[in-house]
Structure 1
Amino acid sequence: MMLGIISSIVAGMCMSFQGVFNTRLSDKIGTWGTNVLVQGIGLVITVAALLITGDGNFKNLKTSNKLYLLGGVLGAIIIYTVMRGIRSLGPTCSIAIILVAQLTSAALIDAFGLFDTPQIRFGITKLIGVIIMIIGILIFRYKC
């Protein structure tokens, strides 16, 4: 569990830095140029990690749900839309909205047990938490 918490913290920090770095780079080379460069660098790093760790079994790809291959498409959309959001709203507001959207999407996936995940109840307390986050974004964005 602790490894999951630490991994999530690192992921959140990296996503914030990546969003800002990508946005600044896109100011110089364009949004899609940045997306290609970032995805290309990511490909090189992940191929190296795959070769070093040996953690890959592509034989099982045949039996995998083909819908899950859209992860690469979603990655390109994510990089593009994060840059657009940060450019328009600034890092804090954009990432706060992203967090609420992620939390809401994840809650729906859990609540309905979508994509082979175990079904987890989404109760009123979780709904209140999301509403409080949205109120926080509105206060931050329009009252400061």
Structure 2
Amino acid sequence: MLRAQLLWFAIAFGMGALLPVQAGMNVRLRDALGSPYRASLVSFFLGTVALLVLVLLTRGETAEPKQAPWWAWVGGFIGATLVTGTVLLTPRLGAAALFAALVAGQLAAAALIDHFGLVGYPELPFSASRAVGIVLLLAGALLVLRR
């Protein structure tokens, strides 16, 4: 079981490593298009095209649609906010400080989500070790912000 978890962790780590690359690419796109909103739109459009191709290629994976809660439908708005936010903040903070702050915010929110079992996650109680990890990550993010 530990080996599988390490594999999934490594995949997630690699995905996380792509985020500052994407932010830099989107900033260059903003420079070329003259607008952070146009750059975000192009990024989302190309992502939508890629997902459309994937859906068409995996047509056999159909299931009966189920009713989802209202909040399940608005995740795309959060994604658009994050992409546009990185386009706006990357030049102001730099990649390391921006993503240190993002990761610290993600971990703090994730710990609360786990504790209360929000948005479909199982309840995982908040612990002292999680609190220490969040404080250390936040401290590290603030250290990265210092130049």
Aligned to 1:65: 69
Return the alpha-carbon distance in structure 1 between the equivalents of residues 71 and 91 of structure 2.
31
Structure number with higher helix proportion: 1
Give the structure-1-normalised TM-score.
Answer: 0.89
Aligned with 1:26 (options 27, 30, 48): 30
How far has the Cα of 1:56 moved from its partner? Answer: 5.1
Return the alpha-carbon distance in structure 2 between the equivalents of residues 3 and 55 of structure 1.
27
Confirm whether residue 49 of structure 1 aligns to residue 93 of structure 2.
no
Q: Secondary structure at the match of 1:60?
A: coil
Confirm whether residue 87 of structure 1 aligns to residue 91 of structure 2.
yes
The count of corresponding residues between Structure 1 and Structure 2 is 142
Give the structure-2-normalised TM-score.
Answer: 0.88
How far has the Cα of 1:54 moved from its partner? Answer: 2.6
Instruction: Provide, for residues 38-86 of structure 1, a one-character-per-residue CA deviation record: whole Å limited to 9, x for no partner.
Output: 010001000101111236547414x111211101111110101111221
- Unmatched segments (≥5 aa) in structure 1: none
How far has the Cα of 1:3 moved from its partner? Answer: 4.3
Return the alpha-carbon distance in structure 2 between the equivalents of residues 138 and 72 of structure 1.
29
Aligned-residue identity in percent: 23
Return the alpha-carbon distance in structure 2 between the equivalents of residues 137 and 2 of structure 1.
24
Aligned with 2:132 (options 117, 128, 133): 128
Q: CA RMSD in A?
A: 1.7
